[in-house]
Amino acid sequence: MKKSNLGKIARYQLVCIFLLIGLVAAVVFSINSGTVHMSVKDIFDIIVLRANEGSVESNVIWKIRLPRLLAAAILGGGLSVAGYLLQTFFRNPIAGPYVLGISSGSKMFVGFTMIVLMHYVKTIPAGIIVLAAFVGALVSMAFVMAAARKVTDMSMLLVVGVMIGYICSAITDFFINFAQENEIANLTNWSLGSFSGIGWSDIRVMSIVIFSSLFAVMMLSKPIGAYQLGEGYAKSMGINIKLFRLLLVLFSSLLAATVTAFAGPIAFVGIAVPQIAKMLMNTSKPIIIIPTTFLTGAVFCTFSDLLARTMFAPTELTISTVTAFFGAPFVIWLLLKKKK
């Protein structure tokens, strides 16, 4: 037993190192790619030594590439943890904020808020957008939970979620039709999903929300572990099920909403990444899986964003185009595996 424990720990460490290397690689590649070419030495000088402050290169790095990179990592991690929480909540490996229509709910509320508020203020504070997204996420979540009471089959739940997503998108499109032209440009770009145009103040808001949520979720890892045996057993171990479920709903919605508020709906990250994390670690221990999920999500999204930017440069793909390309086949594979 001792020996196998050591083996497990070695695996955890190895996977962690592997992911960190992946993250560093993604960061290096991302910073080094784009329309403005720079040598690695220049980049190093600009970031570490703060050289050439005020130059075009410095501005590109500090105002465009770095925030975008950080946003992709933080939001990717947050979205993946949101997916993990939803999978725990519904005890369903193919749950995620996108397929369950939660991202679309956020999108609808954010779109509505933006159109209304743009008449009164020039720039809307990030906090307000996050709040609107959170309310939208909770509204969608309420519908999905109501449906989950009726349907026990996990594929049916997915169908319900996709339908809710369509309804929300339809309503969002309806708003956009009535919006003014300069608003549309903003909205449509955002509603397709992208990490572009994120500034340092946004980074600060998302960091506060996502890292504090991540910390809270880590604190919940003991009941999450017990909940894997089902509600009945969890209750018999002394867990306050109602409170626990409420916390799961709140944190998954908050994480998903924050991501949507800044980057729009992003497909399949929430489903695929927690599963990949479990496979990498070959365990489902929450205390291991939650940070791994975050890290994997960060790596996955920075690489996806890199591809979105560079594959058909100067044309940029939406982030969902890339994540869906990798994520959707993975989900199909998961579904087929479950049927066996």
Rounded Cα distance, 124 and 129, in Å: 7
> What does the angle CA 284 – CA 288 – CA 292 come to, to the nearest 5 degrees?
100
If one counts every other C-beta atom within 10 angstroms of the C-beta of residue 171, the result is: 17
Nearer to other proteins, 178 or 215 (CB): 215
Nearer to other proteins, 196 or 228 (CB): 228
Q: Which of 282, 311, 313, 332 binds other proteins (CB under 8 A)?
A: 282
239 binds other proteins (CB under 8 A): yes
Length of the chain: 340
285 binds other proteins (CB under 8 A): yes
H helices within 151-240, ranges in order?
154-178, 181-192, 200-219, 221-227, 231-236
Point out which span in 99-107, 121-129, 190-198, 219-227 binds other proteins (CB under 8 A): 219-227
Q: Which of 33, 93, 117, 186 binds other proteins (CB under 8 A)?
A: 93
197 binds other proteins (CB under 8 A): no
Q: Are 272 and 326 in contact (CB under 8 A)?
A: yes
24 binds other proteins (CB under 8 A): no
Q: Which amino acid is at 35?
A: T
If one counts every other C-beta atom within 10 angstroms of the C-beta of residue 336, the result is: 9
Minimum distance from residue 241 beta carbon to other proteins (Å): 9
Nearer to other proteins, 109 or 294 (CB): 294
245 binds other proteins (CB under 8 A): no
Q: Which amino acid is at 65?
A: R
170 binds other proteins (CB under 8 A): no
225 binds other proteins (CB under 8 A): yes
Nearer to other proteins, 3 or 122 (CB): 3
Provide the strand spans (E) within the chain: none
Nearer to other proteins, 77 or 223 (CB): 223
Nearer to other proteins, 197 or 225 (CB): 225
Q: Which of 20, 230, 246, 311 binds other proteins (CB under 8 A)?
A: 230
Nearer to other proteins, 36 or 287 (CB): 287
User: What tokens were used for 255?
Assistant: 């994480």
Q: Are 99 and 288 in contact (CB under 8 A)?
A: no
Rounded Cα distance, 34 and 310, in Å: 7
Q: Which of 187, 226, 299, 317 binds other proteins (CB under 8 A)?
A: 226
Point out which span in 12-20, 56-64, 207-215, 283-291 binds other proteins (CB under 8 A): 283-291
Q: How many binding residues for other proteins (CB under 8 A)?
A: 26
Handedness of CA 119, 101, 217, 148 (dihedral sign): positive
Q: Which of 238, 315, 337, 340 binds other proteins (CB under 8 A)?
A: 238
Q: Specify burial of residue 243 (Cβ count, 10 A radius: 0-12, 13-18, 19+).
A: exposed
Point out which span in 141-149, 158-166, 276-284, 306-314 binds other proteins (CB under 8 A): 276-284
Rounded Cα distance, 258 and 131, in Å: 8
Point out which span in 35-43, 65-73, 136-144, 232-240 binds other proteins (CB under 8 A): 232-240
330 binds other proteins (CB under 8 A): no
Kindly identify the residues of this chain, within the stretch 99-138, that bind other proteins according to CB under 8 A.
none
Rounded Cα distance, 19 and 292, in Å: 8
Phi-psi region of 267 (alpha: psi -120 to 50; beta: other; left: phi over 0): beta
Residues near other proteins, by CB under 8 A: 1, 4, 93, 219, 221-222, 225-226, 228-233, 235-240, 278, 282-285, 287
